Each structure stands twice: as C-alpha cells, then as structure tokens.
Structure 1
Amino acid sequence: MTVGLLLLQQPALARTDDRNQPIHVVHADSMDGYNEPNSMSTFKGNVLITQGTMKLTGELARIWTAKEDTSVDHIIVTSIAPKRPHIEQTDDNGNLMTGDADQLYYDNVNGIAILTGNAFVHQQNKGDAHGAKLTYNTQTGYMVGESGNNGPVTMTFLPKQKPLPSPKNGKPATPAPTPAKPAAGSPATGAAKPASASSASTKE
C-alpha cells in the first residue's frame, strides 16, 4: 500500500535555495575515491555532509558525481549500528525537519530524499510520519509514505496553536490576595476589645 502525505500547509514549504548551495563534506574519518566526472567517493566514520541548511550524517556515505562534470548527482548514506543515517533541514519559515532511516538516498539533481527501512520524519510545528519508506521533496515538503514488513504508514498532525489571551491594560492579570484566616482562639477582626480592669473608673 502506498499513501501520499502532504504535511505542510503554507505556501513556503521546504527550503527553496539549499540546492543552489555547494555540498561540503565537513567531516569524515577516512575517504577514498576520485574527484572526477562519473565517479564515486566513499567516506567513513562520523560523516557530516552539508548543503545550505541541510545536513546529512552517518557512518558510511558514498557520493556519486555527474557524468559530465564533478557536481554531485546523488548521495547514499548507509546504516552502521548503532548510528543510523540522519537528515535535517530548516524550511523557509524557520521550522526544522528531521529524518532517520536504515538507508538514506539523496537525489541532488531533483532535491529528493528517500528514507528506507523503519523511516521516520518529523516536521517542527506540523507533525510526523513513519513508514517502511518515506520519500521527501526538500523543495516542496511533499511526502509519500509506503508500508512494508515494519507495519503500516502512520502519521500525526499537530493541532493549531491558539494564541494566548491578551493581558489587561498591558499587564498580566494578578490574582487578588487571599485574606489570612484568624488564628484559632483569637478574636474576630473588628470585634470590640473588653475594657481592662485597670482602666475601669470607680465611685466612692
């Protein structure tokens, strides 16, 4: 079963300019390959790859270049226990999208991220989705989920956030103080005090 999922509800959905940014391998413990057209390079150990606001992390990543030049065609990040591939991106409204799966395929030409194997995507202030396979468009935010052996596609939609009531006169309302209760055995407030014996007048 395949289910199309549209999570975001605003015209400016995902990040529209990340694909115009260069791809950086910020960190890896080791690397081997060629910086040539139609080639593949392998990066191992604490791999961090960025493109604008987008980040890819994992223990093993392979980058394929285009046939005609050294621009990136696609990236595959493979799971090595206990660390799974991870993707995150901040959209044009400042909301963070995060995703985790057993394998992450990023199509740099079309801006498509495919998360396979117990895939989970969370979108800040909007909701999350879980499925055997989730395909996420990093430019539009449109997502397609597919069920599999791990169970059906599931999804959570967050309720609309209601604004807090405006404070009165520009100041937050403060509760009226509660009057203290008189101590047990003490005279009630306002009760007349009996005259003392020394102040009583006597007539001879």
Structure 2
Amino acid sequence: MSLQPALARQDDRNQPIHVVHAESFDGYNQPNSISTFTDNVLITQGTMKLTGALAKIYTAKEDTSVDHVIVTGTPQKRPHIEQIDDNGNLMTGDADQLYYDNVNGIAILTGNAIVHQQNKGDAHGAKLTYNTQTSYMVGESNGAGPVTMTFLPKQKPLPPPKHGAAPATSPAAPAKPAAKPASSSSTSAPASASSASKE
C-alpha cells in the first residue's frame, strides 16, 4: 500500500545532524565508523527530530558525513520521529525500531509502526517507509496483521447563515426607527411619494 500526500520538508536533509542530548556516548568521528548514544537520546536535523533509548550513527565510508542512523527503544520509550512539512503540518512516527537513511532522506519504521500526518491521516503497519522530502509512504504487513490507513476529510469553512436567519434580525432594527418618526416624518414621506406618483 502506498500514499502520496502533499509536500514534506524539502531542506531538512541539507541541514547538519545534531545529537542534542544523550546520557552517554561511545565512538569517534571518523569515516566508516559507528557512534553509540544511550539514554534519552535526541537527534535533530532541521525540523526533524529522532528520539529513543539508544541510537547508533553510522558515518560514510569515504568521509565523516552521516550515512544512516538506527534508533531503538523500550516498550515505555519507543523510537519516535517527527518533522514539520513545508505547509507547517506536523508528521509523527513511532515504532519498535527506526532506521533513518540520511543519504536519501528515508525513514523506515518497523514493528507496530504508526505514522500520523497532521490534517491528512494515519497509517499503521508492521513496516512503514516514509520519504521525509516528498511524504511518499509505503506500508507492509509482513504477515503481522493488516496495514490500515485513515484519510481525514478536507476541512471546509462553515456555511453562511440561511436566508431565514438573517431577516429575523433585520426587521427588529427598522421597527424602532419606524416607531419614532411615526408622528412627523412618516406622514410627510408618504405625501411626497404620492405626489411624485401623481406627477
């Protein structure tokens, strides 16, 4: 199953990756290496955030740029991803494991995966693959139950008031002015109207 909604964030992949928080760190920043971050890990790249109990960052073979990130967690703190798209809508995803391909901007969520797209809908499956640049998504069940989708309806503006409701307020306003000028101006107005009609 696949879904292709509107624009995702186009420029996040060009931003630096920051490990904003972790309780411990093991590794070094060299080509073709692995750095491990544990406990309350928060990684950001532009508007995208990755959180989990443990994250492994794999650098490219030829330099120290990030090739991919694998985030794992616990039942109490599952791996989480979120990103704000170019329209200001928030995408969130949770799974038992999160694989983020930094080269192609692809997030692969496996194990009871859920992706929620604000104002668009939800996807559930054993494996959800989400393109962080285009919002293109593919879902797979892998024999662990069906893939499900929820599509939200387009939010429509409230309809204007019906014709019966508007006149109910308008007669009340003229009723007061008509009662006041009934003594003087109301008699002269019909007279001029009748004389105009006679001419």
TM normalised by structure 2 equals 0.79
Displacement after TM superposition at 1:81 (Å): 3.1
Aligned partner of 2:11 in structure 1 is 17
Aligned partner of 2:191 in structure 1 is none
Aligned partner of 1:137 in structure 2 is 131
CA deviations 1:8-62 (Å, max 9, x no partner) are: 1x3xx10000011000000000000011010000000000000000000000000
Q: Secondary structure at the match of 1:16?
A: coil
1:4 to 2:18 alignment: no
1:41 to 2:35 alignment: yes
Aligned partner of 2:21 in structure 1 is 27
Residue 95 of structure 1 contacts residue 123 of structure 1 at CA under 8 Å; is this kept in 2? yes
Displacement after TM superposition at 1:136 (Å): 0.2
1:57 is aligned, of 37, 51, 54, to 51
Q: Secondary structure at the match of 1:152?
A: coil
Cα distance in 1 for residues equivalent to 2:113 and 2:57 = 21
Gaps of 5+ in 1: 177-204
How does 1:1-204 map onto structure 2 within 5 Å? 3-6=1-4, 8=5, 10=6, 13-165=7-159
Displacement after TM superposition at 1:149 (Å): 4.0
Report percent identity of matched pairs.
82
Query: Letter of the aligned partner of 1:69 in structure 2?
Result: D
Aligned partner of 1:201 in structure 2 is none
Query: Letter of the aligned partner of 1:31 in structure 2?
Result: F
Q: Secondary structure at the match of 1:92?
A: coil
Cα distance in 1 for residues equivalent to 2:16 and 2:50 = 14
Cα distance in 2 for residues equivalent to 1:79 and 1:48 = 12
Question: How many aligned residue pairs are there?
Answer: 165
Residue 104 of structure 1 contacts residue 115 of structure 1 at CA under 8 Å; is this kept in 2? yes
TM normalised by structure 1 equals 0.77
CA deviations 1:51-84 (Å, max 9, x no partner) are: 0000000000000001111110000001223110
Cα distance in 1 for residues equivalent to 2:144 and 2:76 = 19
Cα distance in 2 for residues equivalent to 1:166 and 1:71 = 55
User: Which has the larger share of helix?
Assistant: 2
Residue 60 of structure 1 contacts residue 80 of structure 1 at CA under 8 Å; is this kept in 2? no
| CA RMSD of superposed structures (Å) | 1.6
Gaps of 5+ in 2: 170-199
Cα distance in 2 for residues equivalent to 1:110 and 1:70 = 16
